[in-house]
Amino acid sequence: MEITQEQKTFMRKAIEMANEGMTTNKGGPFGAIIVKDGTIIATGCNQVTSSNDPTAHAEVTAIRNACKKLGSFQLDGCEIYTSCEPCPMCLGAIYWARPDKVFYANTKVDAAEIDFDDQFIYEELEKPLGSRDIPFVQILREEALETFQNWSTKKDKIDY
């Protein structure tokens, strides 16, 4: 795939967001932007430590900002530019948001080299629930299933 000058400009903005967030002590060195129709509609930088929110990664922050701006829970027609290959959480958020494409700069190996290593999460996902480092204990399934059954027959639900 041929990378355009415009795409490089967008990636430089994501890298700029990473630097800005890091130098202002918002969080780690990660930035992201979301583009629709050639225009930046949202930005985000890692804000984990400044907001005490472990989900405030750059991609998640940018997705939240973009969805709010678009008035939609999906990013149809959008591209995400992120300064680093997304972690497992951000990857999940990206797939739920359904952008058209993701561009990234640094790799997960690059991130691991500066102590942002998500390999343990990938390994945990492969383990049976009972063998994970954090115990997962199922309780009250029958009671919870009632809510799922109600959802399946709800007439005014918005599918996603």
- Report, as residue numbers or ranges, the catalytic residues: 59
Burial class of 63 by CB neighbour count within 10 A (0 to 12, 13 to 18, 19+): buried
Range 52-57 contact pairs with CB under 8 angstroms and sequence separation of 24 or more:
55/89, 56/27, 57/30, 57/87, 57/89, 57/90
Tell me the three state secondary structure of residue 60.
Answer: helix
Residues 6 or more apart from 8 whose CB is under 8 A from it?
none
